Amino acid sequence: MEEEHNQISRRTFLTSAAAVTAAAAVSPTWAVTSTEQKGTTQKRDSIATKTAAGKPNSRFNGVQIGTITYSFRDIQGGSDATIKACLESGVSSIELMGDGLEEELGAPSDPVRKKMMEQMRKMMEERQKAAAAGQAAPAGPGAGGPPRFEMTDEDKAAQKKYQEDLADFRKSSGLMAKWAALAKKFKDAGIDIHILKWIAGDTEELYDYTCNVVKTFGAKAFCTEGAEDACKKYGTVAAAHKLLVTYHNHAQYSKMTVDEIQKWLDYSPANRLNFDSGHYFGFGYDNSTKLTPIQFIDHFHDRIFSIHMKDKTKLTNQFASNQNQVWGQGETPVREILQHVRDHYPHLYCDIELEYNIPKWSTSAKEVGTCVRYAREALIY
């Protein structure tokens, strides 16, 4: 039970991690893993944070720790900035968010989306100011509910023109070579891409285009949000292309039974779970699957491809229900999940999704790096 699990506090983690680093510095041959002690063969660099060639290494005791690049959403600068953040944080494998990549390759930008994002940002700022002053939310689209963007006739015309220009771009000669050059930048930096979170659109032609991009990156799967219709549609697409499709969860499973989740998966042999253990924990499961996160992994282990790692409070926490926390300060059994994967399912990717508030003195890359070190410390003991 989560109530009984022995969390690493941030102070304890930093102290023990420092001891590991010091021991490794004194004697590189110290890196004997728990797996080796059990008599199996395991490379002695399994706690190394870099390869012999100086590339990042975030595979510890057989478990690949990575991150979804959504963790770096505060960073501007496209793929170059993403690669730099990966190197700074020490991750060697990622779930790559595909938004914006086509623009790097010369695609037109969506003028309406930019306008919408700016307007939504302003709406949220105004609401926050009003809430801080104890005032009602300002009137306008979405007042009293989620902020809403309303398109004008001019916006609709601009959107139509954008869609036409984007379709022409996707048919341009040499486009796949540009994708290949982009993929090479990640590979040369020592960063593998195991999932591409991006789907170009909902036509047969765009399904083919999406899957070709996934293969160009060397990824094994593409990802979307979990829903029954998605499992029916994209499972067929992925199977036809000999790929996998992974489904991410927010609150879905807090309202579903195990059999209902299995039904979604059974629509295609290519369907897999991108299991967000933090969301699963934080949104509650006592009245749905009734499985703890570790029991969930045990039950669906052969249909899970990757696990999103984050620390949250319980839904029933009376002070802060379902809130993101610095790793080790929440109630999610992060350490136990990592060690359970190490001991039973080391083939599963474990990806950091940084969602807690970043301190003003830090950056997303530094915080992801702290999470990598937390995971490393958990996995090498």
Q: Within its chain, how far is the Cα of 323 from the centroid?
A: 17
pLDDT in tens, the chain (381 residues): 444 444 444 444 444 444 444 333 333 222 323 333 333 334 444 678 999 899 999 999 999 999 999 999 999 999 999 999 999 999 999 999 999 999 999 999 988 877 887 877 777 777 777 777 877 766 655 555 555 678 889 888 988 999 999 999 999 999 999 999 999 999 999 999 999 999 999 999 999 999 999 999 999 999 999 999 999 999 999 999 999 999 999 999 999 999 999 999 999 999 999 999 999 999 999 999 999 999 999 999 999 999 999 999 999 999 999 999 999 999 999 999 999 999 999 999 999 999 999 999 999 999 999 999 999 999 998
Domain positions in the chain are 48-110+166-380
Sequence-distant (≥ 6) Cβ neighbours of residue 52 within 8 angstroms:
45
Question: Which three-class secondary structure string do you get for the chain?
Answer: CHHHCCCCCHHHHHHHHHHHHHHHHHCHHHCCCHHHHCCCCCCCCCCCCECCCCCECCEECCEEEEEEHHHHCCCCCHHHHHHHHHHHHCCCEEEEECCCHHHHCCCCCCHHHHHHHHHHHHHHHHHHHHHHCCCCCCCCCCCCCCCCCCCCHHHHHHHHHHHHHHHHHHCCCCHHHHHHHHHHHHHHCCCEEEEEECCCCCCHHHHHHHHHHHHHCCCCEEEEECCHHHHHHHHHHHHHCCCEEEEECCCHHHHCCHHHHHHHHCCCCCEEEEEEHHHHHHHCCCCCCCCCHHHHHHHHHHHEEEEEECEECCCCCCCCCCCEECCCCCCCCHHHHHHHHHHHCCCCEEEECCCCCCCCCCCHHHHHHHHHHHHHHHHHC
pLDDT of residue 111: 85
Crossing angle of helices 258-265 and 293-300, rounded to 10°: 40
Tokens read off for 23:
């021991």
CATH of 48-110+166-380, one of 3.30.930.10, 3.40.50.300, 3.20.20.150, 3.40.50.2000: 3.20.20.150
